[in-house]
A and B are shown apart, each in its own frame.
Chain A
Amino acid sequence: MTQSVWIHYSRPRPHWYLLDEAQKLTLTEAWQAVRDKASAGGAQYNGRFHIRGQHDFQEVEIWKFASTTEAFEHWQALCAARYNEFFAFSNNIGLETGT
């Protein structure tokens, strides 16, 4: 199975700023649990970077998954935890070239 890179661009949607701190914490903890589960399952997390100074989005996360389907399942788990409702996003998938 060829390794896949999954690149996730994000920025908070306007109504994210209307939540109180407790609501934000509940959601961010749920999303972190999804990320932790992906890492525990073998996904490689390569960090989150701030890009708003030179991009339409605010941050980018870079992951490697053992398969394309695993990347999809990670995103699906985030959506099930309502991540896509509070953050605008653009995702990208790529196959390792081996070169």
Chain B
Amino acid sequence: MTSLTGDTDVFSTASFGASPKASVMFVATRQDDLPGIYGEAHRRAILAVLDELAAEGWTLSLRRVFDPEAPNAPRALATGFTHSHDIAGVFEAPDLESALAGTVRLEKAGWARAFRTEWLMGVKEFAPVMGKGALTDHGWSFLALWEWNDQWCEATPAERTEYDFECDIAFKGDLALGVNIAGRHRLDWSHGWHHLGAWEIDGPDTADAAIRGHEEVADFKFTTSRHIVGRLEPLAELIAPRHA
């Protein structure tokens, strides 16, 4: 039991069995500005590593977190339209050792040439939660990073529990908007951010409507957050070289 907070109506502690227990998030910015930095051979090498990771039990597509029958072809968020970075994404890995080693394998295969990347390693805390219309392919994703602020840290356990259940009202609103929530990933042991929430959504407007609900219940009185929204696209296309 490693969850930092208890279960709520929406969230329950994940029981994993054979499913992945760790997660790897990345936020990456293209840097292959000149010919010769990153080419097709590097791209093929990265895709070969991704194939190996899939064979080793990684989940490379958010869709598959909610639907085990969905293909495991890697997908990531195209974020350049509204962020300073170009792509972001979340994979799930069998354990922390393979998660960290996997990032190194990808970097060495050529990822380090193509991107400047922030990698975030997580531990899965809560089970995925299905919203209304859960099994449709939503096409977009919303990633929420947050840290509990000094006020949360100063609050009593009872005040924190009360806050969790206030936030639950907003999370129920998210589910009503058709959002699927991939549990909660704990990042604090290896990063400045404490948690990641990864959602499937049908577009940026849904993220905006959902966050308004979180503002109404004063979610952000206890947190500092960073939100990322992007369209889900095949990673093989997102890592195509800029120069032949």
Contacts and interface: CB of A to CB of B under 8 A. Distances in A.
Interface string A12-35: 011100000000000000000000
Given A4-B100, A95-B100, A95-B101, A76 B189 contact: yes
B189 A93 contact: yes
A75 B121 CA distance: 14
Nearest to A1: B97
A51 interface: no
Given A71-B190, A89-B192, 14 more contacts: A2-B101, A4-B100, A14-B150, A69-B95, A69-B96, A71-B189, A72-B189, A76-B2, A76-B189, A85-B153, A88-B150, A90-B192, A91-B190, A95-B101
A1 B121 CA distance: 18
Contact of B123 (A72, A91, A95): A72
A15 B100 contact: no
Interface string B185-218: 0001111100000000000000000000000000
Interface residues of B, number: 19
A13 B123 contact: no
Contacts of A89: 188, 192
Interface string A64-88: 0001110110011001000011101
A92 interface: yes
B150 A95 contact: no
A16 to B, nearest CB: 9
Interface of A: 1-2, 4, 6, 13-15, 67-69, 71-72, 75-76, 79, 84-86, 88-93, 95
A13 B189 CA distance: 18
A68 B100 contact: yes
Contact of B191 (A71, A84, A86, A92): A92
B104 interface: yes
Interface in B153-198: 153-154, 188-192
Contacts of B188: 75, 79, 84, 89, 91
Max chain A Cβ within 10 angstroms of own Cβ: one of B104, B123, B154: B154
Contacts of B95: 69
Nearest to B96: A68
B164 to A, nearest CB: 16
A90 B123 CA distance: 16
Contacts of A92: 190-191
